[in-house]
Amino acid sequence: MHSLLNSVSSFYNQIIIENITGSPGDTIYIPIKANFVENVVGLSFSIQSDPEYLDFISFETGEITNNFVWEISQLPFGIVEINGAAVNNFIQFGENDIGFLKALLYPSSSNKIALRGLENMITYASGSSYEGLFVNGEIDVAYSNSIVELIAPTLIEPDSLGIVEINLSINHNITAI
């Protein structure tokens, strides 16, 4: 019976990791939202990302969770664990802004970086605990300058060949070109 209630409640209980855009070397703030079916007094969740491109720094609370105490733990393999408990009051049911995960995009970051929720535990004011669903997000890495620059030859006549020079501006290894 408990597993049936857990599966039904997890459909409505969601931890939402928002998409965000950042440039290599930026400190970014990843918004975390939630949608709960009951008032919440405790929340624990973990998120994984590529440790070669992103370093989690801290968790900053949203307005709704100012009465919570939060703890962030860095784990191996790009996993960060976030635990929060109410000092007084609770997070009201419905959709809420939980806070922001502060992270550093390494200068070698590129493309898109996945933010994947692994585990979570939601503790209601009634004392029961359930797991929720994650809505995963990603970081779209923007570049302020181009990586590939094509330098055209000075003169190419019709029916002749020219050599085009390619310059690469990168700070990390190339797998293929």
Over residues 25-60, the pLDDT tens digits come to 999 999 999 998 889 999 999 999 999 999 998 888
Q: Which residues pair with 150 in a beta bridge?
A: 166
Distance of CA 160 to the CA centre of its chain: 51
Q: What is the pLDDT of residue 164?
A: 67
Q: What is the pLDDT of residue 154?
A: 64
Q: What is the pLDDT of residue 139?
A: 94
For the record, the structure tokens of 146 come out as 């181009």
What is the rounded CA–CA span in Å between residue 125 and residue 91? 9
Q: What is the pLDDT of residue 89?
A: 83
CB-based contacts of 138, cutoff 8 Å, min separation 6? 19, 112, 113, 114, 115
Full-model pTM: 0.73
For the record, the structure tokens of 123 come out as 């503790």
Q: What angle do CA 58, 62, 68 make, to 5 degrees?
A: 80
What is the rounded CA–CA span in Å between residue 149 and residue 153? 13
Residues of the chain with pLDDT under 70: 1-11, 64-65, 144-157, 162, 164, 167-177
Q: What is the pLDDT of residue 101?
A: 92
Q: What is the pLDDT of residue 174?
A: 62
What is the rounded CA–CA span in Å between residue 104 and residue 132? 27
What is the rounded CA–CA span in Å between residue 38 and residue 50? 33
Classify residue 25 by its DSSP letter: T
What is the rounded CA–CA span in Å between residue 34 and residue 36? 6
What is the rounded CA–CA span in Å between residue 138 and residue 150? 30
Long-range contacts of 162-168 (CB under 8 A, 24+ apart): none
Q: Is 131 exposed, middle or buried (0-12, 13-18, 19+ CB in 10 A)?
A: middle
